[in-house]
Amino acid sequence: MSAEMIFGLITGISFGFLLQKGGVVRYDKQLGALRFKDMTILKFMLSAIIVGMVGIHFFEIFGLVQLLYKPVVLGENIAGGLIFGLGWGLLGYCPGTQGGALGEGRWDSLWGILGMIVGAGVYAETYPLLMDRFLDWGISATFPCPSCLV
Amino acid sequence: MEQKSVENGGWSPYLAGGLSGLVIIVSVLWTGKFFGASTSFVRSVGMLENYFDPERVAQLDYFVRYLPKFDWQLLFVIGIFVGSLIASLSSNTFKWQGVPDMWAERFGTNPALRGIVAFIGGIIAMYGARLAGGCPSGHGLSGIIQLAVSGLIAMVFFFVGGIIMARLVYCGGNCK
């Protein structure tokens, strides 16, 4: 294993540990947020974003970090976002956190993991068609928020 | 480190979330890459299909773009499982459960029904995540941390879709 792979594993273990400690991997917490009953996952996510955002941009000033954002493609981001959301509302787990849900014994996430593997396969099958017809919908550009504000 | 006990052995989500932010910073400093989870599912299915039908995999453009190989992000996703296992065992919150409490209140404790819906939900969610170009990890955390517009848009629509479906599943908040 390369150093990069080992670091990926260490990052995952630390992140999974914190996800579980924060209690955000559970179905009840995820659906709780979507039903406006329990905002634990938002508290967790936004805290991570605030800390990470400050740190990443701080190190970016000194050239220690290079930003790598994904391009904006409105059609993809909006349609894909909506479709993901609909599936998320049924499953109640995210691609990243359901491994954590399995880790704390919530084994219904196994079905979600299997479904996601199938879903990725279905996407790969339909990708050429999407590429022809839809994937260039909307503006396509790579820009960060600060530059769209000024 | 101050630990605020929320639910038997849990930490405050603000604390756990803030520390996760630090984990992200260290990880980016070290590897120069931002993590995401959904690409790993593409690589995984590619590896599985390679086992049965390598010719088909070679034909699909998507597996050319995302080569079916074991990479650091897949280890990241596996690491989440391990980390959560350690955390839950160390705090006695590990619970072998196939039907979530909230689901059981609404639909009963039949694990088959829950399994079918979770499986279908997984297919839809991953299809959407690949179309959007990421999931709540890649777009939501890694994207918004960089102030990427794509991440903000995707995250808003993740929640819009999720809220719509949650209202459908739990009858608009009128039932328990």
In a domain, B2, yes or no: no
Do the Cβ atoms of A56 and B98 come closer than 8 Å? Answer: no
Last residue of a domain, one of A67, A94, A121: A67
Do the Cβ atoms of A74 and A137 come closer than 8 Å? Answer: yes
**Same domain (yes/no): A112, A136:** yes
**Same domain (yes/no): B127, B156:** yes
Last residue of a domain, one of B60, B95, B130: B95
Domain containing B34: what range? 10-95
pLDDT tens digit sequence for A64-82: 998 888 888 888 899 999 9
Q: One digit per residue, pLDDT tens: chain B, 176 residues? A: 444 444 556 899 999 999 999 999 999 999 888 998 999 999 999 999 999 999 999 999 899 889 999 999 999 999 999 999 999 999 999 999 999 999 999 999 999 999 999 999 999 999 999 999 999 999 999 999 999 989 999 999 999 999 999 999 998 766 65
Question: Does B147 contact A146 at a Cβ distance shorter than 8 Å?
Answer: yes
Reported ipTM: the value is 0.92
Q: How many distinct structural domains can be found in chain A? A: 2
In eight-state DSSP terms, residue A69 is: P
Q: How many distinct structural domains can be found in chain B? A: 2
Question: Does A100 contact B83 at a Cβ distance shorter than 8 Å?
Answer: yes
**Same domain (yes/no): A7, A61:** yes
**Residue B1 pLDDT:** 40
pLDDT tens digit sequence for B114-123: 999 999 999 9
**Same domain (yes/no): A96, A33:** no
In a domain, B5, yes or no: no
CB < 8 Å from A in window 43-72 of B: 44-46, 48-49, 60-63, 70-72
Least CB–CB distance from A82: residue in B88, B117, B161? B161
In eight-state DSSP terms, residue A62 is: T
Cβ-proximal residues to A87 (8 Å cutoff; 6+ apart), any chain: A119, B120, B121, B122, B123, B124, B125, B126, B127, B128, B161, B165
Do the Cβ atoms of A48 and B137 come closer than 8 Å? Answer: no
Q: What is the 3-state secondary structure (H, E, C) of chain B?
A: CCCCCCCCCCCCHHHHHHHHHHHHHHHHHHHCCCCCCHHHHHHHHHHHHHHHCHHHHHHCHHHHHCCCCCCHHHHHHHHHHHHHHHHHHHCCCCCCECCCHHHHHHHCCCHHHHHHHHHHHHHHHHHHHHHHCCCHHHHHHHHHHCCEHHHHHHHHHHHHHHHHHHHHHCHHHCCC
- Higher pLDDT, residue A130 or B48: B48
**Same domain (yes/no): A104, A58:** no
Last residue of a domain, one of A48, A67, A86: A67
**Same domain (yes/no): B90, B14:** yes
pLDDT tens digit sequence for A115-129: 999 999 999 999 988
pTM of the predicted protein model: 0.92
Domain containing A30: what range? 1-67
**Residue B116 pLDDT:** 97
